[in-house]
């Protein structure tokens, strides 16, 4: 079945470090892929998305490229800030039928000054 | 501005009592969802509804009930049959097209005292 696997956290970085959070997926067909961010005590916010192979989603300095050959959608940022500390969720949409998102387990990022 | 509103932000319940969490959206979305999130954990789907007057069980529906009498509203009742109700509850909505993902509310933190 469809599934999403994220790297386990927490990921701890110093400010201005390079960030990579790995995400791989298993799916039939051609799903859309998403990254959501959750700040402490809040709901999830859509960070970026890609809807077809080789698309690059970007927002707020974060980027992720839809790689069908490796079934991956890794999240990257060149220089993290303390304010980026949050939990990041990778997700895919199930194609066909109703719009059902399948989430990864989430990766906590902690950025220190 | 369109959005999805959950209330209250914090809720306390005595053991043995039912409690209802509110979720309202003015995005004209057809589908609505309820998720449960435990500390440090990912999201688990409780119930979802694709259209008014219809809903389906998710992965952890036992001890919960929902209704969908209006397109804008999808209240969740946590019943006394739910053994471990203390958690963070997230409501979301979406349109049918999977490329748009979900819009989430800010969540309700339920604590059993």
Share of chain B above pLDDT 70, in %: 98
Chain length of chain A: 113
Q: Could you tell me the two tokens for B72?
A: 């804008």
Give the residue, B107 or B2, on which the prediction is more confident: B107
Say if residue B61 is exposed, middle or buried (CB neighbours under 10 Å; 0-12, 13-18, 19+). Answer: middle
Q: Tell me what pLDDT residue B96 has.
A: 73
Task: Kindly report, residue by residue over A70-86, the tens digit of the pLDDT.
Answer: 999 999 999 999 999 99
The chain A residues in contact with chain B (CB within 8 A) are 31-32, 34, 36, 41-46, 49, 51, 89, 91, 93-95, 98-101, 103-106, 108
**B43: β partners:** B37
Task: Kindly report, residue by residue over B70-112, the tens digit of the pLDDT.
Answer: 999 999 999 998 989 999 999 999 987 767 789 999 999 999 9
Q: Tell me what pLDDT residue B68 has.
A: 97
Task: Kindly report, residue by residue over A29-83, the tens digit of the pLDDT.
Answer: 888 999 999 998 899 999 999 999 999 999 999 999 999 999 999 999 999 999 9
Q: Tell me what pLDDT residue A97 has.
A: 59
Q: Tell me what pLDDT residue A98 has.
A: 63
Q: How far is A113 from chain B (nearest CA, A)?
A: 23
Residue of B42, B102, B104 with shortest CB distance to A105:
B42
The alpha carbon of B30 is separated from its chain's Cα centroid by a whole number of angstroms, namely 15
B58 closest CA partner among A43, A9, A4, A102: A102
Partner-chain contact A44 B90, CB within 8 Å:
yes
Task: Kindly report, residue by residue over A91-106, the tens digit of the pLDDT.
Answer: 998 766 566 788 999 9
Partner-chain contact A31 B105, CB within 8 Å:
no
């Amino acid at each position: 079945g469809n599934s999403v696997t994220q790297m386990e956290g927490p990921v701890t970085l110093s400010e201005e470090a390079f960030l990579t959070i790995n995400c791989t997926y298993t799916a039939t067909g051609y799903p859309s892929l998403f990254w959501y961010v959750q700040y402490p005590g809040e709901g999830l916010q859509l960070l970026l998305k890609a809807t077809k192979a080789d698309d690059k989603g970007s927002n707020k300095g974060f980027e992720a490229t839809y790689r069908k050959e490796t079934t991956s959608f890794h999240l990257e940022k060149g220089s993290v800030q303390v304010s980026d500390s949050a939990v990041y969720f990778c997700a895919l949409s199930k194609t066909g039928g109703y719009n059902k998102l399948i989430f990864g387990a989430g990766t906590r990022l902690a950025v220190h000054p | 501005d369109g959005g999805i509103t959950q209330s209250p932000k914090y809720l306390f319940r005595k053991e043995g009592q039912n409690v209802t969490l509110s979720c309202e959206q003015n995005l004209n979305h057809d589908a609505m969802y309820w998720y449960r999130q435990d500390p440090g954990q990912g999201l688990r789907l409780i119930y979802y509804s694709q259209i008014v007057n219809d809903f389906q069980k998710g992965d952890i529906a036992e001890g919960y009930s929902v209704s969908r009498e209006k397109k804008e509203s999808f209240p969740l009742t946590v019943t006394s049959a739910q053994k471990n109700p203390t958690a963070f509850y997230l409501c979301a909505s979406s349109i049918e097209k999977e490329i748009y993902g979900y819009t989430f509310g800010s969540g309700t933190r339920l604590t059993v005292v």
